[in-house]
Every structure is written in structure tokens, then in C-alpha cells.
Chains A and B, each alone.
Chain A
Amino acid sequence: KQEVTQIPAALSVPEGENLVLNCSFTDSAIYNLQWFRQDPGKGLTSLLLIQSSQREQTSGRLNASLDKSSGRSTLYIAASQPGDSATYLCAVLLMDSNYQLIWGAGTKLIIKP
């Protein structure tokens, strides 16, 4: 059974630092991997989607990488800002899964001014 793990569960860093969030999964037979952001009490916003054939995707200060063979993805945030404070979730879409996502529990990120 596919399991998705995000470490650490929480992270607090000063403003301006570059940081990396980690996501690992146990089954490499994935269709894609997605990173989402969730603000407190809100829904989820899609940040980046990496297809299984891709190695990375970039959007502004965000860069997500995917290494299927090792079952890992990282979300790199450059020059962090207080507005980046949120919970970041990763999810994998399994092949032949009726497009169901398997979710990690998230990393709660706090950027201190």
C-alpha cells in the first residue's frame, strides 16, 4: 500500500532563508506528484505538479524535484518570506487508481520576520 511521508512535521526559519521540504513515498508506480499549500482554515492551492517522467518543475521562488527511484520529492523555497507561512502538502497520484491522490500529513512552515 502506498504511503506518503513528510518530514519534518513543522519547521520555523528566519525570513530570507532558503529551505527544503521533503516528501517520500513507498511505491514508485506513480502517475504524478503534486505539492499543495494550505493556509489555516482554508482549502488547498495547487503549487506544482511533476509528471512521473519529469525531474523537476519551477514556479517563481518554488522548485520541486522528483526522484522516482528513491521515492523522494523535495520542495525548495528560495528567499523565504513571512507570506510563505502555511502548511505544505504533497500527494501522489497512483497509476490505475481512478485518479485518487494519496496524501502526506503536511509540513507546517513558519517564516519569522
Chain B
Amino acid sequence: DGGITQSPKYLFRKEGQNVTLSCEQNLNHDAMYWYRQDPGQGLRLIYYSQIVNDFQKGDIAEGYSVSREKKESFPLTVTSAQKNPTAFYLCASNLGGYGYTFGSGTRLTVV
């Protein structure tokens, strides 16, 4: 079945550490997105990519980095510059504005 796989489901980060969240899709979608979700708030866009080897910053890109070397993969790195990284991270993809598909999310906690 086609879909988006996010891993790991839970991730713990120590102070000053960089961590990478994985997102893989087999839907052949061109566009992929990373969102951050905090309690009581709407989803906020971190980065998005509409084509391989190209990506744009969203509303809250500071402290995050991404790459898009393959159509299927859009990993997100949470760097030590992100001072408040504890949140639920969602990866999504779509095809021309239709049919958004979401992964099951990664919950990141700072320890």
C-alpha cells in the first residue's frame, strides 16, 4: 500500500545534540512537507519541497535543516540551534494540492 513512513515514532534529544527524523513516501508525490505541532496550536510549516534538490523555508525554519536528494525521501534535522524542539513532527506529501497524505508522526522530547 502507498503511504508515508516516519521514523522513529519516539525520539529523545540531549542538549546540544542534532537529531534526524526520517520521512519516506512511495506515493510518487512531488511535494513533501514538514510540520510541527504543539498542544493547542495549528500545524506550523517548517520546510517544504516541490521537487528533488530544491526546498523552501516555511514559517518556523530556524534551527531546522532538510535535504531532498531523492523524490521518496525528505529527512528533517533538528539542530542544536533549535532551543525548544519538544513537539510532535508530521511529514506530509501531496500531488498538486490534492490528496494530502500524512505520516504517523515523530514525537521528539528533550532530555
Contact = CB atoms under 8 A, between A and B. Distances in A.
B11 interface: no
Contact of A41 (B94, B98, B107): B107
A74 to B, nearest CB: 18
A61 interface: no
Contacts of B33: 100
Chain A's interface size range is 20 to 34
Given A99-B96, A106-B42, A43 B102 contact: yes
Chain B's interface size range is 20 to 34
Given A45-B102, A49-B98, A104 B42 contact: yes
A43 B105 contact: yes
A56 B31 CA distance: 27
Interface of A: 4, 9, 31-32, 34, 36, 41-46, 49, 89, 91, 93, 98-106
Given A44-B102, A100-B45, 4 more contacts: A43-B4, A43-B105, A44-B100, A101-B100
